[in-house]
Structure 1
Amino acid sequence: MERSEIIIGGDTAGIEWRVPVFRFRGRDSAAPSVYIQAALHANELPGTALLHFLLERLRTAEAEGAIRGDITVVPQANPIGLAQYHFGEMEGRFDLGSRTNFNRDFPLVALAGRDTLLEKLESRSAADRLKRMLLHTALGADLVLDLHCDDESLQYAYIDDAFWPEAADLASTLDMEAVFLSDGESTAFEEAVGHAFKHQGGDKLKTVPGRLAITVELRGRRDVYPDMARRDADGLWAFLAGRGIVTDPAHKAKPYAGPAVPLDNIEMVKAPEPGTVLFHRGIGDEVKAGDLLATLIVRPGEAGGTLAVTAGHDGLIATRCSARHARRGDDLMKIACREATRRDRKPGTLED
C-alpha cells in the first residue's frame, strides 16, 4: 500500500489542508481500477467508517496477493469542511467561505481534458483546488464511488441512466433498498465523473460499459456504528470481488431485487407552512396516495392549529428529515413512487 497526501494551501496565511490517499497496485493490468472516496460532505461519516474497515481488509488482501486491479481510497475527502464549525456544530455540506455546496460546481470536462483540471491551480480558491484535484484523481480509474449519506434514510444510490443496469451488482452487494436513476445533468462530483466518461471523443455516449460513477447514500448521518460499517465494508468487498478487482473464491453474485426509479418519480414532500413536525410514517414504509405522513403544529395551542401532510402518490418512503421543526418549503421526505410525480422538474439534483 502506498500512502500519499493531496496538499491544499489555504486561502489565508499559515493554513494548509492535507487529504490522505491510499493506493493498492493490482497485479493484473487487465483488471478494472477503482476510486472510492467518502465524506465529501464532511459531516456525512458512514462512508469514512466503512472505508476504515475496508482498508483493513485490503491490507490483508495485499499481503495475500489477492488484489488484481488498482484501488485508490480517500476515506476523508474534505478537510476544509471538516474544520468548519458554526456555533459548535460542523457545517460539512456548505463551504462557509463561499456558501457553495462542497458537492457542486465540479468542472465538466471530457475525459481527454483530465489534465486541464490542474491548470492555474495557484489562482483558484482552496475549495476549488480540492474539487479539481479529487476529480483529477478519480478520472484515472474505471469505476468511481462517492460515499455519502442522507438525513434519516434507507440505503440507496443515485445512478446515471448510462450506468444502469450494469451497476445493479453494487446495489445488490450493498443491500440497497432503492436506486434513483439520475439524468447526469448536474455539477456534483459523481455526475462530473460521469460527464467525462460519456464524453470520450465524438458524440455523447448513452452507455459506458466497464465504467461507473455512483453516489452511494449509506443510510442516515447518525448511522455510524462498528457492526454496520463492517457489514457495508463486506458489501463493498463483494462488489470488488464480483468485478475482478480482488480475488475471493467464496464470492457469490446475487441479483438486485429493489426498485429503480427515475428522479421524475421521486415525490419531494415539503412543509406547506412552518411548524413542529409530528411524523406518522417512517423510512421504509410503503404508503398510498392520501395516507397521512405528518402533522404540522402550525399554531400551537389553538383550535384547528394543525395541518395534515399527506402522500400524493403510492410509493416507498426513502428518506425523512431529522429536524422536528420545519420552515415553509423545507423537505420532509422523499418517496420513491411507481409513476412520475411531476412534469416540470428541471434536470439535475433533487436538493441543493
Structure 2
Amino acid sequence: MKTETITLPGDVPGNAIELRVLRFEGGDANAPTAYLQSSLHGGELPGQAALHFLVPLLEKAKAEGRIAGDITIVPQANPIASNQWQAYQHLGRFELFTQTNFNRAFPLLPDFDTSGLLDIDAPVPLAERLKATLLRLALPHEIVLDLHCDDQSENYLYIHQDFLADMLDLAAALGSKAILSWDSTADAAFEEACAYPVLQLSADARDMKRRAVTTVEFRGLADVDFETGWSDAQGLYRFLVHRGVVRDDGETLSASFDGPVTPLSHVEMVRAPQGGMVLYHVVPGDEVREGDSLVTIVTRPGDASGDVTLTAPQTGRILTRRSLRYVRRGDDLLKLLGSRLSAVAKRPGALEA
C-alpha cells in the first residue's frame, strides 16, 4: 500500500487541510478498479470503521499478489467537516460558511476528462476545491462507493435506476435491507457526479456489469464498534472479490438481495407538524400498515390534549428515524418505504437537505 497526502491550502493564511489517500496497485490492467471514501459529512463513522478493517484485508491480498485492479481509499474524505464543532457538538453535514450540504453541488462533467476541474490552489473557497479533488480521485475508477450513514437506520443503498440491475450484488454483499432508486441530478451529490459521465455514454458503451456507483448508508451514527466495522469490511471485501478487483478463491458471494427497491417518489418523509417532544411507536425495520401510529409529538407536557399522533400514510417499511427527541415544526422524523407514489408533493432531487 502506498500512502499519499494531498494538502489543500485553506481560505486564509496559516490554514490547510490534508487528505490521506491509500493506494493499492493492481496487477491486471484488464481488471475493474475501485474507489472507496468515507466521512464526507465528517462525523459519519460507520464507513470509516469499515475501511479501517478493510485495509488489513487488502494489505494481505497485496502481499500475496491478489490485488487485480487498482484500489484507491480515502478514509477521511472531508477534513473541513471533521473539524466543525460548536458548543461541544460536531456539525459536519453543512459547511458552516455557506450552510451548504457537503454532499451537494459537485461538478457534473460530460465525460471522464477531469483536466478542467479546479486545482487545489485555485482562487475559490476550500470546500469547492475539496469537491473537485475528490471527484478527480474517483472518476478514473469504475467502482465508486461513497460510505455514509443515516441517523437511526437500517443498512441501505442509493442507486441510480440505470445501475440498479447490475448492482444487486453489492446490496447482497453488504447485507443491505433496502435500496432507494433515483433518476434526478437536481442536487449533484457526489454519487450523482460520479454517475453522470457514465450516463452520458450510449447504452452499449457503458459496460454496466463492470461499474458500480452508489451511496452506502451503513445504518446509524452510533453504529460504530468492532463487530459492525469488521462485518462491513468483510462485505466490502466480498464485493471487491466478486467483481474481480481482488482475487480470493476462498471468498464467494452466496447471498442474494431480497429487500425492497423503492423509488424516491415512493418514500414518505414524515415531518413534524408542530414542535415538541418525540415519542416513537416504531423502530427502523418495522413493517406498518396504513393508519398505524408512527410517532406522537408532545406539545404541552402534562396535558395530553396537546399530543399530536402521526400515522402511516400508506403501508410500508420504516427505514430511518431521527435520534433527537426534541424537534422543531417541519423537522424530518422518519422515512417510510411505500409501495405507491407518495401523496406529498416533492421537489426533484434529494429527500433531505
TM-score, with structure 2 as normaliser: 0.96
SS at match of 2:334: strand
Deviation at 1:118, TM superposition (A): 3.1
CA distance in 2, matches of 1:184, 1:58: 34
Partner of 1:235: 235
Task: Say if 2:243 is the partner of 1:218.
Answer: no
SS at match of 2:210: coil
Partner of 1:48: 48
Partner of 1:195: 196
Task: Say if 2:22 is the partner of 1:28.
Answer: no
CA distance in 2, matches of 1:148, 1:39: 6
CA distance in 1, matches of 2:206, 2:55: 34
Alignment of 1:131-146 (within 5 A): 131-146=131-146
Partner of 2:256: 255
Report the AA paired with residue 130 of structure 2.
L
Task: Say if 2:122 is the partner of 1:126.
Answer: no
Deviation at 1:345, TM superposition (A): 2.3
CA distance in 2, matches of 1:220, 1:316: 17
CA distance in 2, matches of 1:117, 1:73: 20
Deviation at 1:113, TM superposition (A): 3.5
CA contact (8 A) 2:120 2:129 kept: no
SS at match of 2:115: helix
CA distance in 1, matches of 2:238, 2:120: 40
CA contact (8 A) 1:184 1:195 kept: no
Deviations 1:241-283 (A, max 9, x none): 1000111112222221111111011010111111100111111
Alignment of 1:1-352 (within 5 A): 1-118=1-118, 121-185=121-185, 186-200=187-201, 208-253=208-253, 254-342=255-343, 344-352=345-353
SS at match of 1:115: coil
Deviations 1:85-106 (A, max 9, x none): 1111110111112211111110
Moved more, 217-226 or 246-255: 246-255
Deviations 1:71-119 (A, max 9, x none): 0000010111111111111101111122111111101112244211135
Moved more, 107-116 or 85-94: 107-116
Deviation at 1:342, TM superposition (A): 3.2
Deviation at 1:174, TM superposition (A): 0.4
CA distance in 2, matches of 1:260, 1:111: 29
Deviation at 1:205, TM superposition (A): 8.4
Report the AA paired with residue 198 of structure 1.
L
CA distance in 2, matches of 1:269, 1:303: 21
CA contact (8 A) 1:42 1:92 kept: yes
Change (3 A) 1:303 1:42: closer
CA distance in 1, matches of 2:338, 2:205: 28
CA contact (8 A) 1:138 1:193 kept: yes
TM-score, with structure 1 as normaliser: 0.96
Report the AA paired with residue 147 of structure 2.
L
Gap regions ≥5 residues in structure 1: none
CA distance in 1, matches of 2:300, 2:170: 46
CA distance in 1, matches of 2:327, 2:306: 15
Report the AA paired with residue 273 of structure 1.
Q
Report the AA paired with residue 347 of structure 2.
K
Question: What CA RMSD, in Å, does the superposition of the two structures yield over aligned residues?
Answer: 1.7
Deviation at 1:204, TM superposition (A): 12
Deviations 1:267-303 (A, max 9, x none): 1011111110011111110000000011111122225
Deviation at 1:184, TM superposition (A): 3.6
Deviations 1:3-44 (A, max 9, x none): 101211000110110010001011111100000000001010
Gap regions ≥5 residues in structure 2: none
SS at match of 1:165: helix
Report the AA paired with residue 183 of structure 1.
D
CA distance in 2, matches of 1:60, 1:120: 33
Report the AA paired with residue 34 of structure 2.
V
Deviations 1:200-248 (A, max 9, x none): 4x79989844222100000000000011100000000000010001111
CA distance in 2, matches of 1:46, 1:313: 31
Count of residue pairs brought into register by the alignment: 351
SS at match of 2:188: coil
CA contact (8 A) 1:111 1:139 kept: no
Percent sequence identity is 43
CA contact (8 A) 1:197 1:211 kept: no
CA contact (8 A) 1:156 1:178 kept: yes
CA distance in 1, matches of 2:112, 2:315: 44
CA contact (8 A) 1:93 1:101 kept: yes
Report the AA paired with residue 91 of structure 1.
L
